[in-house]
Structure 1
Amino acid sequence: MTEIDDPDHAGVAGTWHITDMEMWDEDYFNRQVQAYIRIQERGTGSFQFGFVSGSIDGYIEECGSGPRFRFTWEGRDEMDPVTGGGWLEPGTGEEAEGMIKFHQGDRSRFTARKAS
């Protein structure tokens, strides 16, 4: 995999609403707010689903299927500090799929739609 220097992060910059998660149902992941991942043009950002929220630091890499935004994150699960990693891969149109992982813990694939 090759890291790409792309100021718009290959179309991933913006807010993505999480629409489905493999490990958690919609009642949980939208409990406090509409679950989201927000990526800024410099590769930083934030996310929240359920009671988990954090800040993101990432970059674009070229994978076999195209560009993928790979990130690490740190934040909180309720009151507990947590860290992890993940990725977001734009699909066709305004859809994307990805994965978020807790360090030494759960991981979940997810789908998302770019907010208007």
Structure 2
Amino acid sequence: MSLIGRWRIVAMPDYVEDYRDMMEPAYIEFAVDGSGEFAFACVTGQIFGAGDGSNLAFSWQGNDETDEAQGTGWAEIQPDGSINGQICFHGGDEADFVARKQTSSTDGVIGVSVEPN
């Protein structure tokens, strides 16, 4: 199974529940050419050098609120079809995430059923 496509970030264990969707529904996306993008809370980033496969590492550049930000990250497909990963800020925090593949578009939440905590 490949990580290529758009994934809805459904959990970020180190943050309060509503943090990840502060500005828009949180997601991470990987393209065939190794590029991609992500958004959660007030953070957005462009992904570089991700590649293809069931696990990958990448670098990213973007913004955290109004400040420039950059770092690295990784993602790995789990046996249940979800992905676990981490977005690491250069000289700062590490944001763990769980994401599920998006399949259709409804109210900004795409193909995802999230159980309340």
Which residue is 1:70 aligned to?
57
Check the 8 A contact 1:23/1:107 in 2, yes or no: no
Q: Which residue identity is paired with 2:3? A: V
Misfit runs of 4+, over 6 Å = none
Check the 8 A contact 2:82/2:100 in 1, yes or no: yes
Q: Which residue identity is paired with 1:33? A: E
Q: CA deviation at 1:83?
A: 0.3
Q: Give, in whole Å, the separation in 2 of the partners of 1:100 and 1:82.
A: 11
Q: Which has the higher helix share?
A: 1
Task: Give me the identity figure in percent.
Answer: 37
Matched, 1:85 2:72: yes
TM-score, scaled to structure 2:
0.80
Q: Which has the higher strand share?
A: 1
Matches within 5 A, 1:30-41: 30-41=21-32
Shift in CA distance, 36/61, structure 1 to aligned 2, threshold 3 Å? closer
* Runs of at least 5 residues in structure 1 that lack an aligned partner in the other structure: 1-9
Matched, 1:48 2:35: no
The size of the alignment, in residue pairs, is 103
Which residue is 2:12 aligned to?
21
2:19 is paired with a residue whose SS is helix
Matched, 1:109 2:96: yes
Which residue is 1:3 aligned to?
none
